[in-house]
């Protein structure tokens, strides 16, 4: 039996819209046009937040929603390049289109990184958390899952843990598997592994707690990134999915995130 498509956001067109935009000229011009046509409200008072830009701008807006603890859905309009999380830019009948939009709920990863100086940094990631070498020397990592050592030593350029939404981004470029939104799985993927040469990663349950320990960190410095938040010279990174936090992303009918993730698996 074919599952029913996600329900639309609302039957009533939203009247209070908030607009955010990337700093590019195209996004700023489009924002001015939309604000002149539909008005603009603070994010805290809006029914829907409309983000103009590319996937990077969309992730920044979604993180802002998470940090502010808002529950406002976000609709992206592509003024960038790839726009995997975005919809086509169309100024006409925007409130009516938003009333028929279909929603995807995303949960972020929570990263806690510790540096060689004892500093800690916590950040949220809707795409991925990844570690990468800072110098010509390959990184050496130990990987623990739920308190058990699963890989004693991984010699590599880095490693990443991705969300299902982020599995089509850096994870896919690193030859990791694409994960459906409903899969409740997190891909753990090495970046250019040297040893063990044949290890290609793992699919972990969404409730897994992953710890990366940097071996020989003074000789082989490593940085950690949660989407756009970076901490250098780290010794330890803990990552898990935070099911207590979520954001809602809106897509035009027939172009849901689940549809796009499936389509991506058949691209040449």
Parts of the chain with a pLDDT under 50: 1-7
Name the token pair of 262: 């499936």
Q: Known binding site for NAD(+): residues?
A: 55-56, 127-128, 157, 165, 168-173
Residues 226, 153: one domain? yes
Residues 235, 113: one domain? yes
Residues 235, 120: one domain? yes
Strands (E), the chain: 17-21, 48-53, 74-78, 102-106, 109-115, 120-125, 128-133, 139-145, 148-156, 158-162, 185-191, 202-205, 209-215, 222-226, 229-231, 234-241, 247-251
Cβ neighbours of residue 244 under 8 Å, at least 6 residues apart?
none
Q: How far apart are CA 82 and CA 94, in angstroms?
A: 22
Residues 71, 136: one domain? no
Any domain includes 258: yes
- What is the reported pLDDT for 3? 39
Any domain includes 89: yes
- What is the reported pLDDT for 24? 94
Q: How far apart are CA 213 and CA 241, in angstroms?
A: 18
Residues 25, 119: one domain? no
**226-258 pLDDT, tens per residue?**
998 999 999 999 999 999 999 999 999 988 888
Q: How far apart are CA 236 and CA 118, in angstroms?
A: 10
Q: Known binding site: residues?
A: 55-56, 127-128, 157, 165, 168-173
- What is the reported pLDDT for 4? 42
Sign of CA dihedral 86, 263, 126, 97: positive
**49-95 pLDDT, tens per residue?**
999 999 999 999 999 999 999 999 999 999 987 788 999 998 899 99
CATH number at residue 133: 2.60.200.30
Any domain includes 4: no
DSSP result, 213-266: EEETTTTS-EEEEETTEEE-SEEEEEEEE-TT--EEEEE-TT--HHHHHHHHTT
Q: How crowded is residue 67: how many other Cβ atoms within 10 Å of its Cβ?
A: 10
* Residue of 224, 244, 219 lying closest to 120 (CA atoms): 224
CATH number at residue 63: 3.40.50.10330
Phi-psi region of 233 (alpha: psi -120 to 50; beta: other; left: phi over 0): left
Any domain includes 114: yes
Residues 234, 119: one domain? yes
Residues 118, 38: one domain? no
Residues 71, 162: one domain? no
Any domain includes 125: yes
The verdict on pTM exceeding 0.85 is: yes
User: Is 55 part of the annotated catalytic residue set?
Assistant: yes
Name the one residue in this structure whose structure tokens are 């843990």: 161
- What is the reported pLDDT for 11? 62
Residues 132, 163: one domain? yes
Phi-psi region of 245 (alpha: psi -120 to 50; beta: other; left: phi over 0): beta
Residues 77, 147: one domain? no
Q: How far apart are CA 11 and CA 99, in angstroms?
A: 6
Any domain includes 167: yes
- What is the reported pLDDT for 182? 86
Any domain includes 221: yes
Any domain includes 10: no
Residues 199, 220: one domain? yes
Chain CA centroid to CA 133, Å: 21
- What is the reported pLDDT for 268? 66
Count up the domains in the chain and report the number.
Answer: 2
Domain that holds residue 50: 17-107+246-264
The catalytically annotated residue of 32, 40, 47, 55 is 55
Residues 25, 147: one domain? no
- What is the reported pLDDT for 263? 86
């Amino acid at each position: 039996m074919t599952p029913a498509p996600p329900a639309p956001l609302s039957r009533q067109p939203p009247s209070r819209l908030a607009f955010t935009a990337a700093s590019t000229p195209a996004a700023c011009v489009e924002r001015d046009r939309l604000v002149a046509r539909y008005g603009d409200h603070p994010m805290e008072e809006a029914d829907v937040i409309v983000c103009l830009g590319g996937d990077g701008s969309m992730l920044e807006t979604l993180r802002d929603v998470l940090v502010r603890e808002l529950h406002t859905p976000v609709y992206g309009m592509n003024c960038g390049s790839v726009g995997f999380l975005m919809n086509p830019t169309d100024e006409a009948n925007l409130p009516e289109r938003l009333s028929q939009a279909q929603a995807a709920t995303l949960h972020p990863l929570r990263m806690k990184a510790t540096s060689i100086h004892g500093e800690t940094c916590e950040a949220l990631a809707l795409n991925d958390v990844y570690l990468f070498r800072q110098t010509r020397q390959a990184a050496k990592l130990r990987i623990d899952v739920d308190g058990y050592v699963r890989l004693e030593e991984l010699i590599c350029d880095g490693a990443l843990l991705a969300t299902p939404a982020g599995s089509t981004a850096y994870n896919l470029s690193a030859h990791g598997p694409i994960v459906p939104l409903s899969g409740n799985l997190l891909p753990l993927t090495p970046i250019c592994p040297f040893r063990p040469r044949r290890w290609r990663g793992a699919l972990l349950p969404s409730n897994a707690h992953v710890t990366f320990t940097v071996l020989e960190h003074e000789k082989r410095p490593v940085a950690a990134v949660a989407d756009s938040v970076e901490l250098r010279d780290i010794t330890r990174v803990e990552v898990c999915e935070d099911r207590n936090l979520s954001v809602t992303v809106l897509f035009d009918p027939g172009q849901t995130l689940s549809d796009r993730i499936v389509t991506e698996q058949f691209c040449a």
